[in-house]
Structure 1
């Protein structure tokens, strides 16, 4: 691959995170000349991602899963425990992947390892040019858009894909209407070693300050932590040394995994949300956190971004087969329409769950408790929720469908 940025491309993806890499690979593998603009700068903050079954199918199609699989842990059981102190606390609810015919709902892997695997595939992918530079802006013209590179140079493409994160400069420059909000919380992320085996069970405690989640990692005695707490409490926890933080996690987890020890880097992530009125503008399509941001709850964030990438690939491929412009308004409108319901539903569900935990109003507690109780008792409803949680049945992108 060359880095000749004077070559006009059909598609230029801006942003070298997991969603951007996946989108660039998915489009380039169809023989469509594609550029990926962005610097590779993984952050060691203890974050992992639970890749749901549809996302794993997508990564398999891209050739990126084989390198990730040995370092991923299956999530065979999801357990929810109400620890709010509410009068309407339901018993723990367990969701089994086998109940919907899957070996696992998904696989948990360190985010940096996923990006490394996608990056390795990108280096050898025909029709994909890596441009190791930051984007300094983009101007959309009648027939193409021109991306200015920091330090000089430009990239020209008929479609620009904005995968440049939650504070996307491309989104800001496009003039798209944005609704954003914050929560009075932050999330502590790290990796833990523990003395008792996790047995491939992911456990989410619902507390008054937000979810406290332990997700399995390979080896049986390591898990990733996402502990959502009030901003002050989160800062105090983040200031603890490793031994004290391990003890705090152990207490919060009711010692269900035995003695806890911090075994990886840490992060402190402010909780915020963002939604766009539409993920498209003139010759621009937004994917991933450039299009939607919400708290790290329910393993929806990156999975939603990967569905964006896979859906956009389908639209660009149809346009290429028909000889149409991939950056034309009909192609962009079709992408926006295909992503509208899935994105809105996931954003609303995560926001509602998080806000319901922060209030102690009895009617809200009663509804949340009743919902968990009903799902625990009614098999058809439980299976429907599990299937929709893993991958929407309507409008699933081509590379996420079918048996693995």
Structure 2
């Protein structure tokens, strides 16, 4: 039976990035999971902190040609409600950046990660499913669908919302659903996007256009399930027209590319994010609607934290409390991000006038108050940085007064 330092179950973006990072730290890593049956037509917007991490993994040079920068993030109220919010523009230049992040198509991104995994001498790719787990104080044993077994000191679940690893570790979850379905597609457009991502807030959820290279963009259109189903029945000409109308023709004529995909929206948070010799990453630990480009960025912070906890390989067996330490470190970030995305999404759905008023007022304040807008942007790009800057500023003021 093959033995590894770390076995990662799930070979999607989060699992692949974790495998590469941990192999780079000197660990013997097994990345376990079948090849995807269907190409992922979605894109992922990675923020500046995540891009910097890709650079440390020597991945950015290959990924960058696929991407488009997000220099401005614009929020427009696309509702017909009595109380409507003003337009809000978040510009990267306001916080000293060329771009908040970059939008990357998922399918070629995962291809790059697969090629990189093949080049790593300490990373073994096992392209079959894990069908059983035995957890002990000393080691985790994984039963594979091809009839073989392997073991590892640390078992990492990056195996999605219905995570078998999470189930084997007897970690429960809190789940909730939304009366929404996300329609995902890519489209070409007549006018340049100028590296601006526009998010229309509608009564059924966000309609978010994100730049791709050239005169192309990706789209996440959150709709009521029945409206989403009807959208998927449209031919490409009618769908292109519907997208252009919803965008108020700000990018001119639209031409939808390929076949749109749809995903029912729900949320999930694990009661624990690690336990003993088990760690949960990505959607095995947390899942929420595609709002504010939080998904994979949050998952990459999971990876960064795990690497920070275990450090560079010393050649010794990994400790049995890594999961507990990981849970303690990740809890504040995951809980706060999940709550904020849930609150924003529910505020869009609410027909309660005071809720609409508070949402409109909040966006008005962000539009009018530059320092507050900058604080929010810094926090979005580098979580925790805004609070740390506030603390440092407070200390300086107290120090000057006491001097």
TM-score scaled to structure 2, two decimals? Answer: 0.93
Which residues in structure 2 correspond to 1:257-336 (within 5 Å)? 257-317=251-311, 320-321=313-314, 325-329=317-321, 331-336=322-327
Deviations 1:171-194 (A, max 9, x none): 122211200111111000000011
Match of 1:175 among 170, 173, 181: 170
**Residue in 1 that maps onto 2:38:** 43
Query: SS in structure 1 opposite 2:258?
Result: coil
Partners of 2:99 and 2:17 lie apart in 1 by: 22
Match of 2:222 among 228, 233, 251: 228
Give the conservation status (yes or no) of the 8 Å contact 2:375–2:386.
Answer: no
**Residue in 2 that maps onto 1:400:** none
State the 1:53 CA deviation.
0.8
Partners of 2:37 and 2:129 lie apart in 1 by: 15
**Residue in 2 that maps onto 1:384:** 375
Query: SS in structure 2 opposite 1:265?
Result: strand
Give the conservation status (yes or no) of the 8 Å contact 2:41–2:107.
Answer: no
**Residue in 2 that maps onto 1:3:** none
**Residue in 1 that maps onto 2:60:** 65
**Residue in 2 that maps onto 1:345:** 336
State the 1:72 CA deviation.
0.1
Query: SS in structure 1 opposite 2:272?
Result: coil
Match of 2:14 among 12, 16, 19: 19
Partners of 1:59 and 1:230 lie apart in 2 by: 36
Q: 1:43 to 1:58 in 2, by over 3 A?
A: farther
**Residue in 2 that maps onto 1:128:** 123
Give the conservation status (yes or no) of the 8 Å contact 2:76–2:200.
Answer: yes
Match of 1:113 among 108, 111, 117: 108
State the 1:252 CA deviation.
0.5
Give the conservation status (yes or no) of the 8 Å contact 2:376–2:386.
Answer: no
Match of 1:246 among 222, 240, 243: 240
State the 1:89 CA deviation.
1.4
Deviations 1:331-384 (A, max 9, x none): 222211111111111111111111111111111011101111111111111111
Give the conservation status (yes or no) of the 8 Å contact 1:185–1:231.
Answer: yes
Partners of 1:53 and 1:245 lie apart in 2 by: 33
State the 1:20 CA deviation.
0.4
Q: Which runs of 5+ in 2 are unaligned?
A: 388-403
Partners of 1:45 and 1:115 lie apart in 2 by: 9
State the 1:327 CA deviation.
4.7
**Residue in 1 that maps onto 2:132:** 137
Aligned structure 1 segments of 4 or more residues deviating by more than 4 angstroms: none
Q: 1:282 to 1:395 in 2, by over 3 A?
A: farther
Partners of 1:60 and 1:263 lie apart in 2 by: 31
Residue range with higher mean Cα deviation, 334-343 or 193-202: 334-343
Partners of 2:7 and 2:295 lie apart in 1 by: 23
**Residue in 2 that maps onto 1:74:** 69
Give the conservation status (yes or no) of the 8 Å contact 1:44–1:266.
Answer: no
The alignment covers a number of residue pairs equal to 387
Q: Which runs of 5+ in 1 are unaligned?
A: 1-5, 397-404
Q: 1:157 to 1:98 in 2, by over 3 A?
A: same
Give the conservation status (yes or no) of the 8 Å contact 2:188–2:256.
Answer: yes
State the 1:15 CA deviation.
0.7
Give the conservation status (yes or no) of the 8 Å contact 1:210–1:228.
Answer: yes
State the 1:243 CA deviation.
0.8
Partners of 1:369 and 1:324 lie apart in 2 by: 55
Give the conservation status (yes or no) of the 8 Å contact 1:186–1:230.
Answer: yes
Provide the alpha-carbon RMSD of the alignment.
1.6
State the 1:125 CA deviation.
1.0
Deviations 1:70-124 (A, max 9, x none): 1100000000001122322122100000111111000001011111111111100
